[in-house]
Amino acid sequence: MKTVLKISLISISIVVLLFILFLAFFTITDYKPDAISGIYNSDHPDTLKTGDTLTVITWNIGYAGLGYEMDFFYDGGEKVRTTNENTQKNLSEISNFLSNTCKPGFILLQEVDKKSKRTYFIDETKHLAGLFKEFFVFFAPNYKVSFVPLPFTSPMGFVSSGLFSLSEPDPLESVRLDLPGEYSWPMKVFMLDRCILLNRYPINNGKEFVLLNIHNSAFDDGRLKKQEMEFIRNFVISEYQKGNFIVAGGDWNQHPPGLTDGKFNKPDEYANFLLTGIDINFLPEQWQWCFDNEVPTNRSLRTSFDKKTSGTTIIDFFLLSPNLETISIKTYDLEFQNSDHNPVRIKFVIN
């Protein structure tokens, strides 16, 4: 009996020690980005002109792994990743849409994998850059984890993913801005490090066009998004006070101000995702929240997509400073065939 007890205690001690070593290793090697990380600088940037009409498209491509057939364990589903074949198909169709349908001057993408187990280690940044050889491309990591242990029965494993911006004009600079807030330890070791991918372009009036690629927190109790939004508000107001022209677009993981309640299917299907809205008074009245109120941009991943029953809403949109004139805003209804998000395009004029 004593021998059995001794063996049991030794076994438990080994398991506990291995678990402590596991957490220690990933805590020490955790990705800790600087507050500001330079990505690119140009000695000969392209100068935009007042009166120019610009087009920007934003799309969370769901790492080409969240097509219509997918549910996802974080959203109350069961699956971790789709097949390699589906991933390749989704990436191909996403690429075809971007290169043949929209033809914007600027593209803001979220959830683009550089090298991840969930996408069979396909470098999606390299693939997309190859389609837009005439564009400048920029990548800002926001999810770098050597091993994501969830779900325990089929761990997500290695993830390297982030924000990806493509630009026809050559920017003055591109930087990664780290966003404030983090999960408590040890959860933060395995979660995203949210950021903004910022590009600046000179304008012929001596000011700058400031373009922000946004992807805010999703699975939190609201505290992280609040800190992130306060950072964004202070930043855009500061830039506007300098006379600059600002566009922020992406996946905000919350409703825009003025979204019609009950417009789409059963938002309560977002069981594990606190779906809140931005307060109408978050910014002064002249700032423009631009979204297409007729087409949803996101669907619940609780189940595979069903147009009649799946929860849908709008969380992908643009914020424009008062000195820009909006011409049009359009969400392309792709019925979530290749991503759990639809792409959104905006046209505007620099006044």
Q: Is pLDDT above 90 for 44?
A: yes
CATH of the domain spanning 36-350, picked from 2.170.120.40, 2.40.30.10, 3.40.50.1360, 3.60.10.10: 3.60.10.10
- Confidence (pLDDT) at 333: 97
Q: Is pLDDT above 90 for 248?
A: yes
- Confidence (pLDDT) at 87: 98
Q: Is pLDDT above 60 for 22?
A: no
The answer to whether 332 and 101 are in contact (CB under 8 A) is: yes
- Confidence (pLDDT) at 21: 61
Of 160-169, 170-179, 221-230, where does mean pLDDT reach its minimum? 221-230
Q: Is pLDDT above 80 for 24?
A: no
% of the chain residues with pLDDT over 90? 78
The stretch 140-151 carries a mean pLDDT of 94
- Confidence (pLDDT) at 275: 83
The stretch 97-103 carries a mean pLDDT of 86
The answer to whether 167 and 135 are in contact (CB under 8 A) is: yes
Give me the residue spans of the domains in the chain: 1-30, 36-350
Q: How many CA atoms lie within 13 A of 261 on its CB side?
A: 2
CA 94 to chain centroid: 16
- Confidence (pLDDT) at 187: 73
Residue 127: name the closest of 85, 84, 88, 82 by CA.
88
**Model pTM score:** 0.93
The answer to whether 329 and 41 are in contact (CB under 8 A) is: no
How far is residue 132 from each of residues 104, 107, 197, 347, measured CA to CA in Å? 11, 10, 19, 20
112 vs 10 pLDDT, higher one: 112
- For 280-316, how does the pLDDT look when each residue is reduced to its tens digit (9 = 90+)? 999 999 999 999 999 999 999 999 999 999 999 999 9
Residue 258: name the closest of 281, 228, 232, 240 by CA.
281
- Confidence (pLDDT) at 212: 99
- Confidence (pLDDT) at 99: 93
Question: Residue 182: which pLDDT band, with cuts at 50, 70 and 90?
Answer: confident
Question: Residue 9: which pLDDT band, with cuts at 50, 70 and 90?
Answer: low
Q: Is pLDDT above 90 for 134?
A: yes
- For 193-247, how does the pLDDT look when each residue is reduced to its tens digit (9 = 90+)? 999 999 999 999 999 999 999 999 998 888 999 999 999 999 999 999 999 999 9
* Residue 117: strand, helix, or coil: helix
- For 60-74, how does the pLDDT look when each residue is reduced to its tens digit (9 = 90+)? 999 999 999 999 998
Question: Residue 271: which pLDDT band, with cuts at 50, 70 and 90?
Answer: low
Give the integer Cα–Cα distance in Å for 61 and 47: 30
Give the integer Cα–Cα distance in Å for 123 and 48: 32
